[in-house]
Amino acid sequence: MFDNLNWWEIGLLLLVALLIFGDKLPNVISDGLRMLRSVRAMARNATGDLSRELGTDIQLEDLHPKAFIRKHLMSEDEQEALRKPIQRVFDDVKSDLGAVNKELKDVAAAADIKAAVGRPAAEPAAAPKIPPARQSFDDVT
């Protein structure tokens, strides 16, 4: 939610909150934190009640329909049978990309060698150019 905010914007928001709420800001912050804790506790209690009613250990992530079906209706063998073709394709693509990466490195190394061969022998470093000293009006006259 706050991924796009930088420190200046956060500071500005705090300043606006301070101007709006004044000296009641600490109470507002503590009330907000208390509300957040109570919402988390209610979610934990609801998950616990649901787990107790269904007779299984239910996590919040398990309430997603796909995860629920995968966990409670499919055996591990069935899940593995679904994963095998996808894993095979993934491994094939990974090995192909590894071969392409190796070929690209070989081409880059060959291009570097060819460029080094075409270059003249190392030239001595040129002395740094020193700008001529500025002459003052008194020096010229």
Interval 63-117: pLDDT, tens: 777 777 777 777 778 878 888 888 888 889 999 999 999 999 988 888 887 777 7
Mean pLDDT of the chain: 78
pTM over 0.75: no
pLDDT, mean of residues 9-25: 86
Identify the sign of the CA torsion 52, 54, 59, 60.
negative
Q: How far is CA 13 from CA 5, 25, 26, 39, in A?
A: 10, 13, 15, 24
